[in-house]
């Protein structure tokens, strides 16, 4: 097993005809992902990369049975693209697009509340279940099928962590990039819930960053609900603290945004913290050996 | 993006939020003229992007237009150092000259997007002023919060609840509700990331007034607000950071060390800086080169390093994903062809098109230190920087 994407994933690519969309659709197909449709409004009816292109998500779903969408739509139009996929009942939307205005995403979250769609991202590398399905922009060949789940706010730092794992012979069940934005579609807690009930996941690597309180919420959840070992690293210990949102940000989060506070909360919840970002793999290895 | 207080107040006034009579001046003579027109006691406020102006001497009062001119001359053309600026301070090119007011109470009002609820959140407190963060810490019951449904908008009942929370009474409650509704409309219309009125004054005659105002905007939404973009004052930012942006490097933050870093991805860039410190060194900057496959951006990053006299070594750490290692390598070679690189260079490469990237570097004949992995790169960069400093 794995979470979110697997051999049964039938991927639709929104923005398939753009340069990014084309490049990464090809990489996904080379990896073995079933890409069944593309959507670019105005380009419906053509074949692109051997895949039928539709004007709307609705039509694409009806004709191809697509059950997940990967989005490469430019930032000014991305929220509209996500809303369209949600409206048509797409079960999973993975939004790669970086730079979407925050208030557009507020609208998306509002609409999501009564709907069944799960949103991953925006501003994320996507989701990868090694050997089964690559729905994102991550490098395919650094992954190895296995039993460690990875969930991260970062893109390239995750590639590094995954390659550390793979070089030590530790495979991954699924790697989920939840994205670097302030309002991610899915949080650490959302993904930890899935890993906790996934039979193939024996341990979870969590990679956080400074800012917000998502890591503290994860710590709270891990403390009460997660029985599998969790290994974590928080990036940004050395980031300058000068970047602040007036008093209002401090009133909401206090010191919680700091790396040290996040590590403290996670460690109190029984999470093993990697001493530095180059030892995420090694720390995981030690934890797995002690099981 | 930030703007100045006088610009924020102009926007507030457009939304019918009461502000004091005043005008911005860029010379002492202008300040004098404005004070003459106001014709009462005035306050002269340095216009800088940093907070903590009052304690740093950036706010002065004047009883006459002569005094106003003198106060303005003591501020304009100087650099103001506050607890938020660092020792070099920020330049004062303008002052806001405002009528002085008799303040009975100082309240607090702000709106931001709350990460946990994913909703716009309005916060109000009767304990406004510079100590508001301590108030939130020690007496959180004095901070009143209202989460706003973006489909319904800010509602009068929410305004009343916050107004009563601030101990307003009588006609002030309706006045505050109207002000809050306007502030919410401004927040949404202009894609703000923060609006903060601190203090929101209750004057001696019971009126509400925005005494100070901070407005920040969502950088991702600036493309649809040309009017806001034009307000940006590059003088207020670090020259290296402005230079970086002009060269297409949007994600550059100056730090206080001596190792220049070029990395792809914000998380990895932060982790590289963390690892450098773990290895006993200090990064001179955070630099996320982004995902665009353009060798020019690599060349420009090297221009940044060459222009920065603090740099004693440079670490390039690229884990190719969207960004391709061969394109980065081409950029590095180009940089060496275009300029004298006076520092040792440590390179760690991995990911998309690695082999091609390594070949380009090997065949170029440039001298660099190759790192085998993430840790090795940071370690070697720290050694290289120390080798020069001895």
Average pLDDT over residues A232-249: 78
CATH (residue range B21-100): 3.30.1490.20
pLDDT digits (tens, 9 = 90+) for B279-302: 999 999 999 998 767 889 999 999
Told to judge if B230 belongs to the known catalytic residues of this protein, a careful annotator would answer no
pLDDT digits (tens, 9 = 90+) for B83-105: 888 788 999 999 999 999 999 99
What ipTM goes with this model? 0.92
Select from B133, B221, B264 the Cβ nearest to the Cβ of A251: B133
> Higher model confidence: residue B97 or residue B247?
B97
* Predicted local confidence at residue A244, as pLDDT: 56
Distance CA B94, CA B100 (A): 18
B114 confidence band (pLDDT: 50, 70, 90):
very high
Number of Cβ atoms within 10 Å of the Cβ of B107: 26
Q: Catalytic pick from B108, B184, B252, B336?
A: B108
| Cβ-Cβ contacts under 8 Å for B138 (sequence gap 6 or more) | none
pLDDT digits (tens, 9 = 90+) for B9-44: 999 999 999 999 999 999 999 999 999 999 999 999
Average pLDDT over residues B308-332: 92
Given a cut of 90, whether residue B111 has pLDDT beyond it is yes
pLDDT digits (tens, 9 = 90+) for A91-127: 999 999 999 999 999 999 999 998 999 999 999 999 9
Distance CA B212, CA B191 (A): 20
* CB-based burial label for A5 (10 Å; 0-12, 13-18, 19+): buried
Give the number of residues written for chain B: 390
Residue of B nearest to A216 (CA): B116
Given a cut of 60, whether residue A242 has pLDDT beyond it is no
Nearest CA-CA distance, residue A63 and chain B, Å: 31
* Predicted local confidence at residue A245, as pLDDT: 61
**A113 at interface of B, judged by CB pairs closer than 8 A:** no
Q: Among B261, B267, B353, which would you mutate to test the A interface (most chain A Cβ atoms within 10 Å of its Cβ)?
A: B267
pLDDT digits (tens, 9 = 90+) for A46-90: 999 999 999 999 999 999 999 999 999 999 999 999 999 999 999
Distance CA B208, CA B63 (A): 24
Average pLDDT over residues A186-212: 96
Contact B110 A254 (CB under 8 A): no
Mean pLDDT of chain B: 93
Nearest CA-CA distance, residue A117 and chain B, Å: 17
Average pLDDT over residues B119-135: 91
* Predicted local confidence at residue B238, as pLDDT: 83
Distance CA B329, CA B132 (A): 50
Between chain A and chain B, the number of residue pairs with CB atoms below 8 A apart is 186
How far, in whole angstroms, is CA B346 from its chain's centroid?
A: 31
* Residue A180 near residue A112, CB atoms below 8 Å: no
Given a cut of 90, whether residue A32 has pLDDT beyond it is yes
* Predicted local confidence at residue B139, as pLDDT: 92
pLDDT digits (tens, 9 = 90+) for B164-207: 999 999 999 999 999 999 999 999 999 999 999 999 999 999 99
Q: Which of A40, A35, A8 lies closest to A24 in space, CA to CA?
A: A35
B50 confidence band (pLDDT: 50, 70, 90):
confident
Domains belonging to chain A, first-starting first, are 10-120 (3.40.50.720), 138-289 (3.40.50.261)
Q: Among B48, B115, B357, which would you mutate to test the A interface (most chain A Cβ atoms within 10 Å of its Cβ)?
A: B115
Given a cut of 60, whether residue A231 has pLDDT beyond it is yes
Q: Where in chain B is the domain with CATH 3.40.50.261?
A: 238-389
Q: What are phi and psi of A11, to 5 degrees?
A: -90, 135
Q: Where in chain B is the domain with CATH 3.30.470.20?
A: 1-19+102-236
Nearest CA-CA distance, residue B130 and chain A, Å: 9
pLDDT digits (tens, 9 = 90+) for A123-150: 999 999 999 999 999 999 999 999 999 9
Q: Among B81, B240, B270, B375, which would you mutate to test the A interface (most chain A Cβ atoms within 10 Å of its Cβ)?
A: B270
Contact A246 B221 (CB under 8 A): no
Distance CA A91, CA B257 (A): 47
CATH (residue range B1-19+102-236): 3.30.470.20
User: Considering only CB atoms, which chain B residues are within 8 Å of A279?
Assistant: 375
Q: What are phi and psi of A110, to 5 degrees?
A: -60, -45
Mean pLDDT of chain A: 95
Maximum C-alpha span of chain A? 56
**B86 at interface of A, judged by CB pairs closer than 8 A:** yes
Residues 339-378, chain B, touching A (beta carbon < 8 A)? 350-352, 373-375, 378
CB burial readout A100-128, b (16+ within 10 A) else e: bbbbbbbbbbebbeeeebbbbbbbbbbbb
**A107 at interface of B, judged by CB pairs closer than 8 A:** yes
Inter-helix orientation angle B266-278/B374-389, to 10°: 50
In CATH, B238-389 is 3.40.640.10: no
Nearest CA-CA distance, residue A223 and chain B, Å: 19
**Two tokens at B323?**
């960004």
**B116 at interface of A, judged by CB pairs closer than 8 A:** yes
């Amino acid at each position: 097993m794995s979470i979110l994407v697997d051999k049964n994933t039938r991927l639709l690519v929104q923005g398939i005809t753009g340069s990014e969309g084309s490049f990464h659709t090809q990489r996904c197909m080379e990896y073995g992902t079933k890409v069944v449709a593309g959507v670019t409004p105005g380009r419906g009816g053509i074949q692109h990369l051997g895949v039928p292109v539709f004007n709307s998500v609705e039509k694409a779903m009806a004709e191809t049975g697509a059950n997940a969408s990967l989005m490469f739509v430019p930032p000014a139009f991305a929220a509209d693209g996500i809303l369209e996929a949600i409206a048509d009942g797409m079960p999973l939307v993975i939004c790669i697009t970086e730079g979407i205005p925050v208030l557009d995403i507020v609208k998306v979250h509002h609409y999501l509340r009564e709907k069944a769609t799960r949103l991953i991202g925006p501003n994320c590398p996507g989701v990868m279940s090694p050997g089964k399905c690559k729905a994102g922009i991550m490098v395919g060949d650094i992954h190895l099928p296995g039993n460690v789940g990875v969930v991260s706010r970062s893109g390239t730092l995750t590639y590094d962590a995954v390659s550390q794992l793979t070089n030590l012979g530790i495979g991954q069940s699924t790697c989920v990039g939840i994205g670097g934005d302030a309002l991610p579609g899915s949080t650490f807690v959302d993904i930890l819930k899935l890993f906790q009930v996934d039979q193939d996941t024996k341990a979870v690597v969590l990679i956080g960053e400074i800012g917000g309180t998502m890591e503290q919420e994860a710590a709270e959840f891990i403390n009460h609900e997660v029985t599998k070992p969790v290994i974590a690293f928080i990036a940004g210990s050395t980031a300058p603290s000068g970047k602040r949102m007036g008093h209002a940000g401090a009133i909401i989060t206090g010191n919680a945004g700091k790396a040290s506070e996040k590590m403290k909360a996670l460690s109190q919840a029984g999470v093993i913290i990697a001493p530095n970002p180059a030892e995420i793999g090694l720390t995981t290895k030690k934890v797995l050996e002690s099981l | 993006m930030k703007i100045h207080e006088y610009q924020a107040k102009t926007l507030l006034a457009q939304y019918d939020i009461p502000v004091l009579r005043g005008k911005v001046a860029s010379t002492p003579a202008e300040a004098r003229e404005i004070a003459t027109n106001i014709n009462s006691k005035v306050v002269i406020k340095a216009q800088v992007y940093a907070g903590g102006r009052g304690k740093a001497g950036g706010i002065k009062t004047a009883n006459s237009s002569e005094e106003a001119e003198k106060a303005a001359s003591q501020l304009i053309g100087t650099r103001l150092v506050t607890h938020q600026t660092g020792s070099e301070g920020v330049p004062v090119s303008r002052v806001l000259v405002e009528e002085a007011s008799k303040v009975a109470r100082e309240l607090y009002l702000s709106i931001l997007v709350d990460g946990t609820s994913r909703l716009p959140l309005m916060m109000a407190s009767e304990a406004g002023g510079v100590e508001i963060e301590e108030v939130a810490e020690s007496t959180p019951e004095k901070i009143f919060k209202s989460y706003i449904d973006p489909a319904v908008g800010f509602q009068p009942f929410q305004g009343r609840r916050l107004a009563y929370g601030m101990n307003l009474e009588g006609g002030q409650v309706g006045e505050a509700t109207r002000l809050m509704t306007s502030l919410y409309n401004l927040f949404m219309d202009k894609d703000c990331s923060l609006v903060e009125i601190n203090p929101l004054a209750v004057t001696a005659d019971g009126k509400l007034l925005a005494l100070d105002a901070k407005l920040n905007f969502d950088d991702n939404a600036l493309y649809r607000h040309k009017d806001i973009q034009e307000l940006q004052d590059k003088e207020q930012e670090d020259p290296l950071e402005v230079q970086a942006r002009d060269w297409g490097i949007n994600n550059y933050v100056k730090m206080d060390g001596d190792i220049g870093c070029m990395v792809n991805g914000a998380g990895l860039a932060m982790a590289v800086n963390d690892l450098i410190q773990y290895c006993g060194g200090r990064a001179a900057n955070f630099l996320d080169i982004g995902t665009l496959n353009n060798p020019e951006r690599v060349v420009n990053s090297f221009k940044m390093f060459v222009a920065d006299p603090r740099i004693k070594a440079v670490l390039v750490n690229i884990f190719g994903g969207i960004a391709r290692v061969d394109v980065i390598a081409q950029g590095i070679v180009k940089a060496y062809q275009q300029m004298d690189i006076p520092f040792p260079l440590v390179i760690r490469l991995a990911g998309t098109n690695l082999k091609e990237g390594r070949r380009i570097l090997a065949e170029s004949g440039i001298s660099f230190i190759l790192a085998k992995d993430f840790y090795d790169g940071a370690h070697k960069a720290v050694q290289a920087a120390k080798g020069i400093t001895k």
